Structure 1
């Protein structure tokens, strides 16, 4: 679920950015390929919490791949004929800085969301698993052997060092308890 939402938002924002920068629509095949690739990549990485460095690296690589794919989608959009690029949509310092800024801001934002989502998942798992674990502990105690007070015989220590050690844990035995 997380991967599909991420892929949808990522591809829509990238399409809007490229359309705004170039003024030309992007080929449907490029949008479909971008969504499929982003979904697959996000699905592989969605298994556990990721660090800021991992998120940043993935976004920088993704920015490069999506830019290249959408630039090719621009070039071959008009009935299969190449369109000559006369603006900054195909590269250049402005486009590079825009992609870098988008990756840095997105990585920071996604890391905060990632941390929050995994915190909620841990809290939910704890809230759901705690009663189960308690019930298993209660069942273990109930299924254990019955010990009658006064009948318990403590084994003598086998080590010569512990021969003279008194065990003072537990309630007093027999007459001292009254």
Structure 2
């Protein structure tokens, strides 16, 4: 089943929102620094542009997780650059060093964001496709039945005829009373 353009647009936008929000949350938690709103917007539109052509088919969990891991580290670079730019223009009294933007905590935060969003998006992906298949089968079934050609029927096998044309002899049953017809003649009258 292939998704329609409005469905693809909506699915990729939802994917971008989830990915960027969880990445920003993890990044903010690990660095403790505010992010530039411009970096968030660039991140959303970048993820959306990559996800839009990929949203045509149902994706597996490993595929979603792989895409998210790559996206997490691209977003990390974008958010780190956005933090430095934001601090340079808005908080010049408190300079931020670039050395604090790597490290284990940041890596773990991005890995957790990728894992959580992959799990969440796969569940949503599976439910959305299941709903789409159900709707298609319910709504399109009458059309398929109306416009489909009838299935060819197999020819019936010919019944072999017996040599005699007399009807087969049926053995009478022992405990059957025949109550139809005229009364039987009474003997001795």
TM-score (norm 2): 0.66
1:44 aligned to 2:57?
A: no
How far apart, in 2, do the equivalents of 1:169 and 1:58 lie? 63
* CA deviation string 1:16-63 (max 9, x = no partner): 333333333212321121011011112121100011111011010011
Q: Highest Rg: 1 or 2?
A: 2
Deviation at 1:169, TM superposition (A): 6.7
- Which consecutive unaligned segments of at least 5 residues does structure 2 have? 1-9, 160-189
2:186 corresponding residue in structure 1: none
Alignment match of 1:114 (pick from 113, 117, 125): 125
How far apart, in 1, do the equivalents of 2:132 and 2:158 lie? 40
1:168 corresponding residue in structure 2: 157
- Give the 3-state SS of the residue equivalent to 1:76 in structure 2: helix
TM-score (norm 1): 0.70
- Which consecutive unaligned segments of at least 5 residues does structure 1 have? 142-165, 171-178
Q: 1:167 to 1:60 in 2, by over 3 A?
A: same
2:102 corresponding residue in structure 1: 91
Pick 1 or 2: higher relative contact order, CA cutoff 8 A, min separation 6: 2
Deviation at 1:109, TM superposition (A): 2.4
Q: How many residues matched?
A: 143
Q: 1:168 to 1:73 in 2, by over 3 A?
A: same
How far apart, in 2, do the equivalents of 1:12 and 1:107 lie? 13
Q: Say if 1:74 and 1:83, in contact at 8 Å, map to a contact too.
A: no
Q: 1:104 to 1:11 in 2, by over 3 A?
A: closer
Deviation larger for 97-106 or 67-76: 97-106
Q: 1:101 to 1:17 in 2, by over 3 A?
A: closer
Give the alignment's Cα RMSD to 1 decimal: 2.6
Deviation larger for 112-121 or 55-64: 112-121
